Chains A and B, each alone.
Chain A
């Protein structure tokens, strides 16, 4: 199956700082999604972004499908941004969703 790699694996930020999370994938995809799992385990869909750029408040995401990567930007981070961020891809022809291993973000007050 497709390989989905996320970096960095862990990130510690001071509140108010900005960050960029990366997701690389090894094959062509139909779509890509970013999820946030909060410290209580709840999974929240952040972006459905097969290509281009989307913004939602302090978060934005860019996917460059031809170069097989996606970036998630978090600006002015808050403690509530802590948790694990996953990207997941729908590999072309596979009809399956493959997850990366996640980036664990800790935002310190």
Chain B
């Protein structure tokens, strides 16, 4: 158990809908990272937050947004969902803010029908 929690574990929704994925980092970690893993795109880094501020941005679509709250948990919002958004979404956390050693949550499997 990495200490990083993600909810929900599974999510099934329809095209055009909006969903929110939640992540709680390990105790003491200030950074939260979001990743997408799909069959055709592989593992992609989406975005990093460090102590409430956006720190690094990867291949995150404009339809997606994220934030980190004062208690350091983070939410990833996915809107106007398309079939191609079906994927496993991972959250990870680390102590520092410079893309350092990360600990991953179990992931949220999103299926868009």
Interface residues of A (CB under 8 A from B): 30-31, 33, 35, 41-45, 48, 86, 88, 90, 95-99, 101-102
20 A–B contact pairs at CB < 8 A? A31-B99, A33-B101, A33-B102, A35-B104, A41-B106, A42-B106, A42-B107, A43-B90, A45-B101, A45-B103, A45-B104, A88-B45, A95-B55, A95-B56, A95-B99, A96-B59, A99-B42, A99-B43, A99-B44, A102-B43
Chain B residues 1 to 45 lying within 8 A of chain A, measured CB to CB, are: 2, 33, 42-45
B1 nearest in chain A by CB position: A42
Q: Is the interface of B mostly helix, strand, loop or mixed?
A: strand
Q: How large is the interface on B (under 10, 10 to 19, 20 to 34, 35 or more residues)?
A: 20 to 34
Residues of A within 8 A of B88 (CB): 41
**For the complex, what is the distance from the CA of A63 to the CA of B92, rounded to whole Å?**
23
Bound form: Cα–Cα A102–B59 in Å: 19
- Interface presence of B84 (CB below 8 A): no
Chain B contacts for A99, CB-based, 8 A: 42-45
Query: Which B residues between 53 and 111 are near A, CB-CB below 8 angstroms?
Result: 55-59, 88, 90, 92, 98-104, 106-107
Report B's interface with A, CB cutoff 8 A: 2, 33, 42-45, 55-59, 88, 90, 92, 98-104, 106-107
Residues of A within 8 A of B107 (CB): 41-43
Complex Cα–Cα for A88 and B101 (A): 11
Cβ-defined contact, B42 with A48, below 8 A? no
Q: A42-B107, A45-B103 are in contact. List 15 more A-B contacts (CB 8 A).
A: A30-B98, A31-B99, A35-B104, A41-B107, A43-B107, A44-B2, A48-B101, A88-B45, A90-B99, A95-B56, A96-B56, A96-B58, A97-B56, A97-B58, A101-B42
